[in-house]
Amino acid sequence: MSRALLIVDVQNDFTEGGALGVAGGDAVAEGITRLLAERAGEYALIVASRDWHDPDSDNGGHIAETPDFVDTWPVHCVAGTAGADYDPLLDTGAVTHHVKKGQGKPAYSMFEGVTDEGATVGDLLTENGIVEVDVVGIATDHCVRASALDAISHGQRVRILTDLVAGVAPEPSEAALAEIVHAGGELSPARA
């Protein structure tokens, strides 16, 4: 097996009711749990990322009292808080590696994060001979986009499972998916 599943930021603060909740976030969590129950064995690695921002810090200007929702954001996914936890509808039992990103600085791509042991996603993919990745998670127009584009830059064949992503808004999400396709990625539903 040379395929990995990359699960991007399925956290309480990004699902319904969270600080930056997106519509459909809980459904994405449930859908990924279903995918893992049925097909986890198809993946050599299953990597899940979380925003993990330092408390009492603007995290390199990422968090602001008056956010512009482009480069600055309200307080979200503070390390050790309920908002930073995985959505309870996401069963992480099959996850092989957990990555934290944005620790004291802005970070959108899971490739900017590290495991508790200090490994990057790029390291994990290379060490395990991964050549293809499926990408799922939140938000299509931000962290899913950045993670998919970085995976392509890392030489991966990237497929976005379109029924297992949710974005902040329709137009930028559609633009993000088009950008990923233009860069060489594929779009496919998990359930064909």
Catalytic residue annotation = 9, 101, 143
- Amino acid occupying residue 153: S
Contact 145, 180 (CB under 8 A): yes
Query: Rounded to 5 degrees, what are φ and ψ at 191?
Result: -105, 100
As a residue count, the chain comes to 192
For the record, the structure tokens of 20 come out as 């930056």
d(CA 44, CA 19): 33
d(CA 136, CA 28): 8
- What DSSP element (H or E) covers 46? strand 45-51
